[in-house]
Amino acid sequence: MTDPAATAELDAVTRRFGKGGTPALDNVTLQIRPGRMSGLVGPDGAGKTTLIRLLAGLLDPDAGAVTVFGHRATATDRARIGYMPQRFGLYEDLTVIENLRLYAELRGLPDSARAGRFAELLRFTDLTRFQGRFAGKLSGGMKQKLGLACALVETPDLLLLDEPGVGVDPVSRRELWAMVQQLTGEGIAVLWSTAYLDEAEKCDEVFLLNEGRLIHAGPPAELTREVTGRTFRLLAEGRGRRRLLTRMMDRDDIRDATIQGASLRLLTAAGAAPPDDTQAVPPRFEDAFVDRLGGGPKGTSALAESYRTIPDTGVAAIEAKGLTKRFGDFTAARDIGFTIPRGEIFGLLGPNGAGKSTTFKMLCGLLTPTEGQGHVAGHDLRHARAAARQSLGYMAQKFSLYGDLSVRQNLNFFAGAYGLTGAARRARIAQLTEVFHLGPYLRQNAGGLPLGFRQRLSLACAVMHEPPVLFLDEPTSGVDPIVRREFWSHINGLVQKGVTVLVTTHFMEEAEYCDRILVIYRAEQIALGTPDELKADAAAHTGRADPTLEDAFIALIEAHDAEAEAAA
Amino acid sequence: MSLRRFRALLVKESRQILRDPSTFLIAFVLPLILLFLFGYAVSLDIREVRIGVAQQDDSQEAASLAVAYRNSPWFDVTMAPEPRGLEPDLVAGRIRGIVVIPQDFGQRLIAADRTAEIQIITDGAQPNSAAFVANFAEGVRATWAAQRAAEAGVTAAPPITLVPRFWYNAELTSRDFLIPGSIAIVMAMIGTLLTALVVAREWERGTMEAMMATPVAMAELLASKVLPYFVLGLGSVALCTTLAITVFDVPFRGSILALMALSSAYLVPALGQGLLISAATKNQFVASQMALILSFLPSMVLSGFLFEIPSMPPVIQAFTYIVPARYLVPSLQTVFVVGDIWPMFWRGIAALLLFGLVFFVLAIRVTRRRIA
Is B9 in Cβ contact with A53 (below 8 Å)? Answer: no
d(C-alpha A392, C-alpha A390), whole Å:
6
Measure the CA angle with vertex A59, ends A58 and A61; round to 5°.
150
A301-391+468-529 shares the fold of A8-224: yes
Q: Which of B14, B15, B214 to mutate to test the interface with A (most CBs of A within 10 A)?
A: B214
* Residue ranges for chain A with pLDDT beneath 70: 1-2, 19-21, 167, 239, 398-399
d(C-alpha A372, C-alpha B68), whole Å:
80
B370: distance to nearest CA of chain A, Å?
A: 4
**Would you state the torsion angle of the CA atoms of residues B82, B83, B84, B86, taken in this order, to the nearest 10 degrees?**
110
DSSP one-letter code for A78: G
DSSP one-letter code for A335: E
Task: Please tell me the predicted confidence (pLDDT) of residue B159.
Answer: 46
Mean pLDDT of B177-204: 87
CB of A95 closer than 8 Å to CB of A132: yes
A81 Cβ under 8 Å from any chain B Cβ: yes
Reduce the DSSP state of residue B112 to 3 states and report it.
coil
Task: Please tell me the predicted confidence (pLDDT) of residue A399.
Answer: 64
Is B215 in Cβ contact with A77 (below 8 Å)? Answer: yes
- Considering the four listed CATH numbers 3.40.50.2000, 3.40.50.300, 3.60.15.10, 3.40.50.10490, the one that applies to the domain covering A8-224 is 3.40.50.300
Q: What is the pLDDT of residues A43-62, one digit of tens each?
A: 877 889 999 999 999 999 99
Q: Which residues in chain A have Cβ-Cβ distances shorter than 8 Å to B213?
A: 56-58, 78, 81, 83, 85, 89
Nearest residue in A to B210, CA atom: A89
Q: What count of other Cβ atoms lies within 10 Å of the Cβ of residue B141?
A: 18
| Half-sphere exposure of residue A390: CA atoms within 13 angstroms, side-chain side | 11
Percent of chain A with pLDDT over 70: 98
Q: Which residues in chain A have Cβ-Cβ distances shorter than 8 Å to B368?
A: none
Reduce the DSSP state of residue B340 to 3 states and report it.
coil
Residue A381 CA to chain centroid, in angstroms? 30
Task: Please tell me the predicted confidence (pLDDT) of residue B173.
Answer: 67
d(C-alpha B324, C-alpha A139), whole Å:
46
Is B15 in Cβ contact with A88 (below 8 Å)? Answer: no
Is B16 in Cβ contact with A94 (below 8 Å)? Answer: yes
d(C-alpha B190, C-alpha A145), whole Å:
36
| Half-sphere exposure of residue A559: CA atoms within 13 angstroms, side-chain side | 16
| Half-sphere exposure of residue B332: CA atoms within 13 angstroms, side-chain side | 32
List the single residue in B4, B369, B372 with the smallest CB-CB distance to A17: B372
Residue positions counted in chain B: 372
Is B372 in Cβ contact with A59 (below 8 Å)? Answer: yes
A18 Cβ under 8 Å from any chain B Cβ: no
Q: Which of A49, A105, A112 to mutate to test the interface with B (most CBs of B within 10 A)?
A: A105
List the single residue in A84, A93, A105 with the smallest CB-CB distance to B4: A105
The residues, ordered by sequence, that sit 6+ positions from A455 with a Cβ below 8 Å of its Cβ are A475, A476, A479, A483, A487
d(C-alpha B333, C-alpha A21), whole Å:
56
Q: Which residues in chain B have Cβ-Cβ distances shorter than 8 Å to A108?
A: 2, 4-5, 215
Q: At A494, which amino acid appears?
A: L
- Is the sign of the CA dihedral A78, A79, A85, A90 positive or negative? positive
Nearest residue in A to B21, CA atom: A93
CB of A100 closer than 8 Å to CB of A121: yes
A62 Cβ under 8 Å from any chain B Cβ: no
A297 Cβ under 8 Å from any chain B Cβ: no
List the single residue in A17, A77, A83 with the smallest CB-CB distance to B210: A83
d(C-alpha B19, C-alpha A215), whole Å:
48
Backbone angles phi, psi at A273, to 5 degrees: -75, 150
B274: distance to nearest CA of chain A, Å?
A: 21
Q: Domain-by-domain residue ranges, chain A?
A: 8-224, 227-300, 301-391+468-529, 404-466, 531-568
Task: Please tell me the predicted confidence (pLDDT) of residue A1.
Answer: 46
A79 Cβ under 8 Å from any chain B Cβ: yes
B236 sits in the region (left: phi over 0; alpha: psi -120 to 50; else beta) called alpha
Backbone angles phi, psi at B250, to 5 degrees: -75, 135
Q: Which residues in chain B have Cβ-Cβ distances shorter than 8 Å to A90?
A: 207, 210
A74: distance to nearest CA of chain B, Å?
A: 9
DSSP one-letter code for B160: S
- pLDDT greater than 80 at residue B113: no
Lowest-pLDDT range of A281-290, B173-182, B197-206: B173-182
d(C-alpha B137, C-alpha B150), whole Å:
20
A61: distance to nearest CA of chain B, Å?
A: 11
A59 Cβ under 8 Å from any chain B Cβ: yes
Q: Which residues in chain B have Cβ-Cβ distances shorter than 8 Å to A98?
A: 12, 15
Q: Which residues in chain B have Cβ-Cβ distances shorter than 8 Å to A94?
A: 12, 15-16
Q: At A16, which amino acid appears?
A: R
Is B215 in Cβ contact with A79 (below 8 Å)? Answer: yes
Residue positions counted in chain A: 568
A108 Cβ under 8 Å from any chain B Cβ: yes
Is A58 in Cβ contact with B212 (below 8 Å)? Answer: yes
Nearest residue in A to B212, CA atom: A58
Nearest residue in A to B17, CA atom: A93
CB of A395 closer than 8 Å to CB of A475: yes
Task: Please tell me the predicted confidence (pLDDT) of residue A350.
Answer: 82
- Is the sign of the CA dihedral A442, A445, A447, A451 positive or negative? negative
Reduce the DSSP state of residue B218 to 3 states and report it.
helix
B251: distance to nearest CA of chain A, Å?
A: 42
Q: Domain-by-domain residue ranges, chain B?
A: 3-42+173-366, 49-151
DSSP one-letter code for A310: P
Q: What is the pLDDT of residues A73-116, one digit of tens each?
A: 988 998 899 999 988 889 999 999 999 999 999 988 888 989 99
List the single residue in A85, A89, A93 with the smallest CB-CB distance to B20: A93
Is A106 in Cβ contact with B5 (below 8 Å)? Answer: yes
Nearest Cα neighbor of A63 from A35, A92, A103, A28 is A28
Reduce the DSSP state of residue A505 to 3 states and report it.
strand
d(C-alpha A553, C-alpha B3), whole Å:
50
Chain B interface residues (partner A, CB cutoff 8 A): 2, 4-5, 7-9, 11-12, 15-16, 19-20, 205-207, 209-216, 369-372
- Considering the four listed CATH numbers 3.40.50.2000, 1.10.220.10, 3.40.50.300, 1.10.420.10, the one that applies to the domain covering A301-391+468-529 is 3.40.50.300
Q: Which residues in chain A have Cβ-Cβ distances shorter than 8 Å to B4?
A: 105, 108
d(C-alpha B77, C-alpha B54), whole Å:
10
d(C-alpha B269, C-alpha B227), whole Å:
13
- pLDDT greater than 60 at residue B124: yes
- pLDDT greater than 60 at residue B161: no
DSSP one-letter code for A338: E
Q: Which residues in chain A have Cβ-Cβ distances shorter than 8 Å to B215?
A: 77-79, 106-108
Reduce the DSSP state of residue B306 to 3 states and report it.
coil
Measure the CA angle with vertex A298, ends A293 and A301; round to 5°.
135
Q: Which residues in chain B have Cβ-Cβ distances shorter than 8 Å to A88?
A: 206, 210
Task: Indicate whether this model's pTM tops 0.80.
Answer: no
CB of A345 closer than 8 Å to CB of A513: yes
Backbone angles phi, psi at B31, to 5 degrees: -60, -40
Q: What count of other Cβ atoms lies within 10 Å of the Cβ of residue B344?
A: 14
A89 Cβ under 8 Å from any chain B Cβ: yes
d(C-alpha A274, C-alpha A251), whole Å:
13
Q: Which residues in chain B have Cβ-Cβ distances shorter than 8 Å to A87?
A: 205-206
A60 sits in the region (left: phi over 0; alpha: psi -120 to 50; else beta) called beta
Task: Please tell me the predicted confidence (pLDDT) of residue B332.
Answer: 92
List the single residue in A58, A78, A105 with the smallest CB-CB distance to B371: A58
A287: distance to nearest CA of chain B, Å?
A: 35
Q: In A414-437, which positions are buried (b, 16+ CB within 10 angstroms) versus exposed (e)? A: bbeebebeeeebeebbeebbebbe
- pLDDT greater than 80 at residue B111: no
Q: How far apart are the first and last CA of chain B?
A: 25
Q: At B88, which amino acid appears?
A: P
What residues does A266 pair with on adjacent strands?
A232, A257
A221 Cβ under 8 Å from any chain B Cβ: no
Strand A158-161 to A81-84 pairing: parallel
A93 Cβ under 8 Å from any chain B Cβ: yes
Nearest residue in A to B16, CA atom: A93
CB of B261 closer than 8 Å to CB of B254: no
d(C-alpha A446, C-alpha A402), whole Å:
7
CB of A462 closer than 8 Å to CB of A491: no
Q: How far apart are the first and last CA of chain A?
A: 54
Strand A500-505 to A345-349 pairing: parallel
Local confidence band at B263 (pLDDT 50, 70, 90 cut-offs): very high
- Considering the four listed CATH numbers 3.40.50.300, 3.40.50.720, 3.40.1710.10, 3.40.390.10, the one that applies to the domain covering B49-151 is 3.40.1710.10
A329 Cβ under 8 Å from any chain B Cβ: no
What residues does A325 pair with on adjacent strands?
A333
- Segment holding A170, helix H or strand E: helix A170-184
A350 Cβ under 8 Å from any chain B Cβ: no
Reduce the DSSP state of residue A168 to 3 states and report it.
coil
- Segment holding B311, helix H or strand E: none
Q: What is the pLDDT of residues B71-96, one digit of tens each?
A: 887 788 888 888 888 888 888 888 88
What residues does A504 pair with on adjacent strands?
A348, A473
d(C-alpha B36, C-alpha A391), whole Å:
57
Kindly write down the DSSP assignment for every residue of A347-416, as one continuous string: EEE--TTSSHHHHHHHHHTSS--SEEEEEETTEETTT-HHHHHHTEEEE-SS--S-TTSBHHHHHHHHHH
